[in-house]
Each structure stands twice: as structure tokens, then as C-alpha cells.
Amino acid sequence: MTAIRSNVADYREAARRFLPRFAFAYLEGGAENEITLRRNRAAFEALAFEPRVLRDVSTLDTRTTLAGQAAAWPAVVGPTGINGLFRRAAEEALARAAQKAGLPFALSTASTSLLEDVRNVTEGDLWLQLYVQQDRRIAENLMARARAAKFSTLMLTVDTPVLGQRDDYARTGFAMPVRWTPALLWDLATHPRWLAAVGIHGQPRLVNLSRSARLGAGIEDRTGTRTHRMDLTLNWRDVAWLRRHWQGRILLKGIQGASDARLAFAHDVDGVVLSNHGGRQLDGARSPLDLLGEVVADAPRGAEVFVDGGIRRGSDIAKAVALGARGVLLGRAPLYGLAAAGEAGVTDVLAMLHKELQTCMRLLGCPDLSALTFDLLTAHGAAAAREAAAA
């Protein structure tokens, strides 16, 4: 009998049961002591609602625009890497589910599906998340391919010159290429459903990097490109280099302070994503949600501010929008659905979050997104937003 899953947490538990320990640790884990990982979630929990009653909420409108494109609600299925660990053709499944939900899908440079294959399965809005390697011709080729495939938006990740220290990798034996140990073999043997659906097909491949680098397609070849060979010279002047190669909108993902947000807008980007990489990079960083009010207050007219990290309920999306976010990026939540039940699981997770957002808006007395304002929230984050707006 199929278990009833009523929320994202239920899908997380189903994903945990399905995945080998090393794969779930890769999905779920954070950097070092996971202070930042916990802080992301705690920031949402610290905000309390102050609803308005006796408001007409007989009709409800969650529609918005994200990076200039229409979206059914204020969320993006965000970029996540090596998703082939969870299901085959993972990015195709994520992209189709995003289109059905009326949302953009952001494809990671570290995807295990070709961007052209993703475009072939969806007519939805696609964004390219970009890592820049020492050989910048790789990034230039990725951008050219994405333009040809009609991707609308480029999202440069700026918080990953090197990988953060992730202790769970050592604890569970996660490594690419795989290092075969008795513990890993036992991990695989005790997860036969994953072996039959995923593991039997071999290691996932970072095929987009491989194609653009014109090198071997094995993940063992390309992991070095993503980490040790990342371009450590990348700096603010390189936004102009991006503009020469990308005519669409450009967002910077991984902004972790108001001063860097101001610098981003001074360099003429179209928007920023406040993000600490889901707590996977620098442990001890602030929660993006706690930065949101200050950054929004300083943003120039027309610039868009997105936020990610710790979003597990539709009410979390309402809180982010009330603090001024254009929208949120969903990372782990869709992946729980993907691992637990493939594309159907992603579709269900997105439908749950949208329904929860709608319920929350009605209970707050908000018939549309413009009614979601910071005066509906109480706590330090909302207080900071009020002060910034009054300044």
C-alpha cells in the first residue's frame, strides 16, 4: 500500500528510506557543524504572523513575474547538482514538473542531463546556473548552448570558489569517483529499490560540463573541474564579461550581505539571490531571510531579490514575499519528491507548497501577493524590514 504523504517532511522521510546513506547525506547535509543549515530553518520559524480578518478572500491570485517571465506563484525550482544520484533523467523530471506548476526551472552547471535534452521535454521557462572554471571557454560555451536552447536567464553562483567542508562525505564514503569499501557495499546492498532504479545504471555523469569542455563524460573527470579548477580570479569586473556573452537577464546567486548586494546592483545585474548555498558552504553564515528586509530596501527600482534556504512550507514562501522577496528558490524540497517518487513526487511536492501558500494567504486576509506585506509579521526580521522601509 502506498504511504500517504501530506507534506514535504513526509517526502523527506520517504527519500531517506529510498536512498543509500551516502546519497541522502549528499542531499541533506550541510557544512561542518551545520550551524548555518539549522539557522536557515530557524529564521522562518522565528517569524510569527499577525493576520487580518474579515477580508474578502473569495478569489485568490498568486500569479507574478520572475526575471521578467510569468509564473503561477513566486517560486523557482532551483539549481541542484548531481541529481542523477536520486533518479535517472532527473533534470528532465524536475523541468517537466516545474512547467506543470507554472514555475521556472534553473538547471545547474553540475547537472546530469544535457541542457538540450531538458529543453526538448519542456516549453517552460528555463534558467542556467553557471559555475566558472579556470578555462572560461567552458562557461562561454555553456552560455552559448543555453542561448541557442532559449534559456531566458543566467544565474551566476558566487559563493563557491571551493567546496565547503562537508563532514558527512567522509562519514558516509561519498566520493566521486566511487571508492569501494565494505561499508559502501553494505549501504548499496541494503537499498535494493535504489539499486534497481538508479544504481544499476552506473555513476551519474556531469554531461554539460563534459560537452562544453570537450572532455570525457565521467563524473570522475569533471569533479575536479568544478572544484580545484574553479576560477579563483573571478571578481566584480567579470560581470561585464558575462554581459558580453549573455543578452538575457543576469542574477547573482550566493549574496550573503547587504554590502555585496549593493555592489551587485552597482554592477548592473538584474537581480540577486540571497543564499548561503543551503548551509553547504560557509558554516556560521547568516540566514538569507534575515538579510532580506535590508537588501530589499536598498535595491534599485526594477531589481529583483530572491531568497532560498530552508523553505519547507507554503507559509515560508508567504513570509519571504511579505519581507519583500520577488520569489524563493526551492532546493531540497523538490529533490525529496524526486527521490521518493520520481517526477510524480516532484509534481506533488510543488502542488502541496502552492496549496499551502494559498491557504496561508486566505488565513492572512490576502487575496493577492501585493497584500503580503511586512506588517503581517512580527519578530526581528519583520522589525528590520519596517525600519528599512521607514528610513
- Catalytic residue numbers read 277
Please report which confidence band the pLDDT of residue 183 belongs to, taking 50, 70 and 90 as the band edges: confident
User: What pLDDT is attached to residue 384?
Assistant: 56
Q: Tell me the C-alpha distance between 139 and 109, whole Å.
A: 9
Classify residue 234: in a domain, yes or no.
Answer: yes
The three grid cell numbers given for residue 148, joined into one nine-digit string:
541557442
CA distance 101 to 89: 19
Amino acid residing at 261: A
Question: In this predicted structure, what is the pLDDT of residue 168?
Answer: 84
Q: How many domains is the chain partitioned into structurally?
A: 1
Least confident of 185-199, 302-316, 355-369, 377-391: 377-391
The answer to the question of residue 237 being in a domain is yes
Whether the predicted model's global pTM rises above the 0.85 cut:
yes
CATH code at 194? 3.20.20.70
The answer to which of 1-5, 169-173, 349-353 has the lowest mean pLDDT is: 1-5
Q: What is the pLDDT of residue 172?
A: 81
Domain containing 384 equals: 8-390
Q: Is the dihedral of CA 34, 36, 40, 41 positive or negative?
A: positive
Among 265, 264, 310, residue whose Cα is nearest residue 286 = 310
Residue 1 lies inside a defined structural domain of this protein: no
Give the model confidence (pLDDT) of 22-68 as tens digits: 999 999 999 999 999 999 999 999 999 999 999 999 999 999 999 99
Residue 80 lies inside a defined structural domain of this protein: yes
pLDDT at 88: 95
Q: How confident is the model at residue 2 (pLDDT cuts 50, 70, 90)?
A: low
- Residue 362 domain-assigned (yes or no): yes
- Residue 293 binned pLDDT confidence (cut-offs 50, 70, 90): very high
Q: How many beta carbons lie within 10 A of that of residue 215, not counting itself? A: 13
pLDDT (tens digit, 9 = 90+) per residue, 65-107?
999 999 999 999 999 999 999 999 999 999 999 999 999 999 9
Radius of gyration of the chain measured on its C-alpha atoms = 20
Q: Which of 137, 112, 126, 127 has the alpha carbon at shortest distance from 157?
A: 127
The reported pLDDT for the residue numbered 180 is 80
pLDDT at residue number 266: 96
Supply φ then ψ for residue 153, to 5 degrees: -140, 140
- Cell digits for 320? 519571504
Is residue 115, in this structure, part of any structural domain at all?
A: yes
Q: How far apart are CA 50 and CA 254, in angstroms?
A: 30
Q: Is residue 89 left, alpha or beta, with left meaning phi > 0 and alpha meaning psi from -120 to 50?
A: left
Inside any domain, residue 3: no
Cell 552559448 locates to: 144
* Mean pLDDT of the region 225-252: 88
Neighbours of 9 (CB within 10 A): 13
Task: State what percent of residues in the chain have pLDDT above 70.
Answer: 93
